[in-house]
A and B are shown apart, each in its own frame.
Chain A
Amino acid sequence: MRIFASLRIAGRALRRNKMRSLLTMLGIIIGVGAVIGSVSLTTGATKQVEDQVASLGENVITVFSGNFTSGAMRGGWGSAPTLTVADALAIAQLPHVLAVSPEVRDRAQILANGLNWNTQVMGESPDYPQILNRSIASGAMFSDQDVRSLAKSAVIGKTVADQLFPGENPLGQILRIRNIPFQIVGVLTPKGFNLFGQDQDDIVVVPYTSHMHRITTRTFVSDILAEASSDKTINQAQNEITDLLSARHRSKEPDFTVRNQADLMERVSAASRTMGFLLAGVAAVSLVVGGIGIMNIMLVSVTERTREIGIRMAVGARAADILVQFLIEAVTLSVIGGSIGIVGGVSFSKIVAGLKDMPTVTPVTWIAIAFISSAIIGIISGFYPAWKASKLDPIDALRYE
């Protein structure tokens, strides 16, 4: 028997009981719709997080100073002053390192324009914007010359600019940090909050030399930012840095830690993998429930149409023809249900995206998975009823009332 004829027979049988077909499909529709909808939302959210991680700077390696131990008290990572500017300059010479910035952090009350504001004052090298993927909105970054000359130049974030110079152009204006005047040479392009909820625009960046010699009197840096030459060499660069610092510090136990952006990315994608497994579980359960609904209705349908089966067998339908007819009917139900579910799930996620201002992404693979698994569910749940129909005895079937 031709597939086209079978499809026509199946279509007619399903149209005959529109309400019942719709209710049967509902299980699959809801199951597939829920899966596609939640996959779209979580994929969108995951992508948003990944974008944020990437926006922290690609290929960034951070070196934290070591654990400060005083008697029995251990201060934890970053508490001991072990990293120096010389370490940073040595790291800059490594083959797979593109840029380096020794970082010095301090919170300070700053004054300008008759206003004051408490903010993070960072000592950095001119490579800072490049490493962290930031750009200068107006003005320019301070230069290597400024670093050498301990220049009193500062680059400020958008938040600081808004707080101290509302409605004014901050470029060229004077800013007082611990009563030392710095001239504003640039304003960073706004970047918003980072993954941990910190305002990345609430900062003042000055040359690290100026920071260490003018604002604070530190001889050690808080940490060192480095950028690997590419995402492929990031682990190599990390190893080089570890080896270099171990050699330089001649310590038995490492008095520093090196972390890279890939680690963070790894953790984020591990979280989304877990979410993916969870969704796959929900999908499997809902599709099984939908499949049971289809099997149930197909069994009813086979019983109802026993006489039709008898007639078809009497005029020469083989068992396989009957099997295929009912299988196609079940698969048609589940595939139409699955397709409606896919459309519904995508629209649902788009509506939520519109209302909640959340990005949604529907991966094509999930659409394919949803479509194929609804077809498979149709075959599995339709097989037993179809097989039962095909095994009917034509004489009994014809006599069935």
Chain B
Amino acid sequence: MQTNPVIKLADIHKVYHTGEVDVHAVRGISLEVFPGEFAALMGASGSGKSTLMNMIGALDRPTGGNYLLDGIDVSTLDRDALADVRNEKIGFVFQGFNLLSRTSALENVEMPMLYHRHRIQSHEQRERALHALDLVGLGDRADHHPNQLSGGQQQRVAIARALVNQPSLLLADEPTGNLDSQTSIEIMGVFQKLNDQGITIVMVTHELDVARFTKRRVILRDGKIVTDEPVQNRSFGEKELQQLRAAQQAVKLAS
């Protein structure tokens, strides 16, 4: 690929100074992710994948190495500048959805625009939020509150929130961790659809089944990359869902 990478990690290190022993969570990772990619970061607990995810998400800074996000050197930015980077360049999707309860889906999606460096008119906020909800297929649930939505619908709202500022990168941290298998497939289908539209996605997961929906698999162990390869036999949301339905009908679980 000839274009500039969205993520360019060069020999990234992260050392936590907790107590007397220094914990070396990430030990020299170099990684490039190009526009339009759909990558899965995998690894057992303690492999450093969450730490790496936090640094890619500009929530944390590396203690060594360089990180260019969309051409910006994130490793040297201060707290406020990191907040702006998170606001404009990155969309987050979390395992626990992390929606604000007692706040409508629409207002949840509008929230990142409140913190935008440039003022966005409220009617434009509303339009963009509705558009994002349409993208994830929830345009008709804009006024519902999180407790009126199913887990899969809540995660779709979270995805809409992540997309609303048109970020360069969509970061998902175990997005299917709290969902049943059918809903997981649906959500992965949503991600695939977004990726087809050109959105770059990096996802952390520990499930191989989930990783099969992505295009690239990066596996970490002890703070280092041990595997980085394209995904063979990719799963596709539509097809998997049909198969699941057929199986359910066979045992009369669904009509």
Establish whether residues A316 and B115, one from each chain, have CB atoms under 8 Å apart when the complex forms: yes
* CB-defined contacts of A398 to chain B, threshold 8 Å: 59, 94, 98
5 residue pairs bridging A and B, Cβ less than 8 Å apart: A5-B114, A316-B84, A318-B115, A395-B54, A395-B59
- B-contact 0/1 string along A1-31, CB 8 Å cutoff: 1100100000010001000000000000000
* CB-defined contacts of B100 to chain A, threshold 8 Å: 308, 311
Picked from A12, A307, A319, the residue with its CB within 8 Å of the CB of B98 is A307
A317 lies within 8 A of chain B by Cβ: yes
Establish whether residues A12 and B103, one from each chain, have CB atoms under 8 Å apart when the complex forms: yes
- B-contact 0/1 string along A293-321, CB 8 Å cutoff: 00000000000000110111111111111
Which 3 pairs from chain A and chain B are nearest by CB? A316-B87, A315-B112, A316-B115
Interface residue tally on A, bucketed by range: 20 to 34
A157 lies within 8 A of chain B by Cβ: no
Establish whether residues B111 and A315, one from each chain, have CB atoms under 8 Å apart when the complex forms: yes
Establish whether residues B86 and A316, one from each chain, have CB atoms under 8 Å apart when the complex forms: yes
CA separation between A160 and B88, bound complex, in Å?
91
Question: Which residues does A use to contact B, with CB under 8 Å?
Answer: 1-2, 5, 12, 16, 307-308, 310-321, 394-395, 398
Establish whether residues B114 and A2, one from each chain, have CB atoms under 8 Å apart when the complex forms: yes
Establish whether residues A314 and B59, one from each chain, have CB atoms under 8 Å apart when the complex forms: yes
**Number of residues from B at the complex interface, CB < 8 A:** 26
CA separation between A21 and B79, bound complex, in Å?
32
CA separation between A74 and B197, bound complex, in Å?
111
Question: Which residues does B use to contact A, with CB under 8 Å?
Answer: 54, 57, 59-60, 79-80, 83-84, 86-88, 92, 94, 98-100, 102-103, 111-112, 114-116, 119, 161, 165
Picked from B80, B103, B161, the residue with its CB within 8 Å of the CB of A315 is B161
CA separation between A321 and B87, bound complex, in Å?
13
Interface of A is mostly: helix
Least CB separation from B102: chain A residue: A16
Establish whether residues B59 and A316, one from each chain, have CB atoms under 8 Å apart when the complex forms: no
Establish whether residues B92 and A314, one from each chain, have CB atoms under 8 Å apart when the complex forms: yes
Picked from B59, B111, B119, the residue with its CB within 8 Å of the CB of A312 is B111
* CB-defined contacts of A16 to chain B, threshold 8 Å: 102
Establish whether residues A395 and B98, one from each chain, have CB atoms under 8 Å apart when the complex forms: no
* CB-defined contacts of A319 to chain B, threshold 8 Å: 79-80, 83
Establish whether residues A317 and B115, one from each chain, have CB atoms under 8 Å apart when the complex forms: yes
* CB-defined contacts of B80 to chain A, threshold 8 Å: 318-320
CA separation between A319 and B83, bound complex, in Å?
9
* CB-defined contacts of A311 to chain B, threshold 8 Å: 98-100
CA separation between A16 and B100, bound complex, in Å?
12
* Given A316-B165, A318-B115; 7 other pairs, CB 8 A cutoff: A1-B115, A307-B98, A313-B86, A315-B111, A316-B115, A316-B116, A398-B98
CA separation between A1 and B54, bound complex, in Å?
25
Picked from A2, A12, A310, A316, the residue with its CB within 8 Å of the CB of B83 is A316
In the complex, how many angstroms separate the beta carbon of A392 from the nearest chain B beta carbon?
Answer: 11
In the complex, how many angstroms separate the beta carbon of A329 from the nearest chain B beta carbon?
Answer: 15
Establish whether residues B94 and A316, one from each chain, have CB atoms under 8 Å apart when the complex forms: no
Establish whether residues B119 and A315, one from each chain, have CB atoms under 8 Å apart when the complex forms: no
Establish whether residues A315 and B92, one from each chain, have CB atoms under 8 Å apart when the complex forms: yes
In the complex, how many angstroms separate the beta carbon of A386 from the nearest chain B beta carbon?
Answer: 16
* CB-defined contacts of A395 to chain B, threshold 8 Å: 54, 59-60
Given A311-B100, A312-B115, A398-B98, residue A317 in contact with residue B54 (CB < 8 A): no
